[in-house]
Amino acid sequence: MVLGMSTFTFVHVLISLVGIGTGLVVAYGLLTAQRLEGWTACFLVTTVATSVTGFFFPFHGFTPAIGVGILSMIVLIAAIVALYVFHLVGAWRWIYVGGAVIALYFNVFVLIVQAFQKIAPLKALAPTQTEPPFVVVQIAALLFFVGVGVASIRRFLPPASA
């Protein structure tokens, strides 16, 4: 047990936080038209690892978490193919940008859900996660990432050699 979590849960959370942190750096790079190759690779690897490890938690039937994990894997595969196979040529540029931003949003979405489930003061504000504080935070996150995504698609250009 580490910080009250199983070792597996702790590693999953740690990978998730690294994915979110590196994803924010990558999002900054998208907004400022910088490739940030190392940060991008770390973001993609840790975000894929977050989704994959999420499937190893015990579950009974289809859950919202599994749905987010499946959607995350789909957008991550598209982003990875756009970046490393098609080198951001043509429509693959916005597919990469959109996939990266959506994958980061999914990680933040889950972070918010988990924070409201596990952090006592937040849980007290929204015990069923249908209360206004939870809804407002989730809507704010969604609007933030929509803004980042739209701005990134406009600003992030393919390399000159493409």
Q: Cβ distance 120 to 88 under 8 Å?
A: no
- 162 is a domain residue: no
- Single pTM value for the model: 0.93
Residue position matching structure tokens 């929204």: 126
DSSP state of 135: H
- 130 is a domain residue: yes
pLDDT digits (tens, 9 = 90+) for 102-147: 999 999 999 999 999 999 999 999 999 999 999 999 999 999 999 9
State both tokens at 157. Answer: 């250009």
Separation between Cα atoms, residue 116 and residue 126, nearest integer Å: 7
| DSSP reduced 3-state for 157 | coil
| DSSP reduced 3-state for 2 | strand
Nearest Cα to Cα of residue 152 among 86, 88, 69: 88
Q: Cβ distance 27 to 97 under 8 Å?
A: no
- 37 is a domain residue: yes
pLDDT digits (tens, 9 = 90+) for 55-83: 999 888 888 889 999 999 999 999 999 99
- Tell me the residue range of the domain where 34 lies: 7-155
R_g over Cα of the chain: 17
pLDDT digits (tens, 9 = 90+) for 14-57: 999 999 999 999 999 999 999 999 999 999 999 999 999 999 99
- As separate numbers, helices (DSSP H) first and strands (DSSP E) second, the chain gives 6, 0
- 2 is a domain residue: no
pLDDT of residue 159: 58
- 52 is a domain residue: yes
pLDDT of residue 158: 65
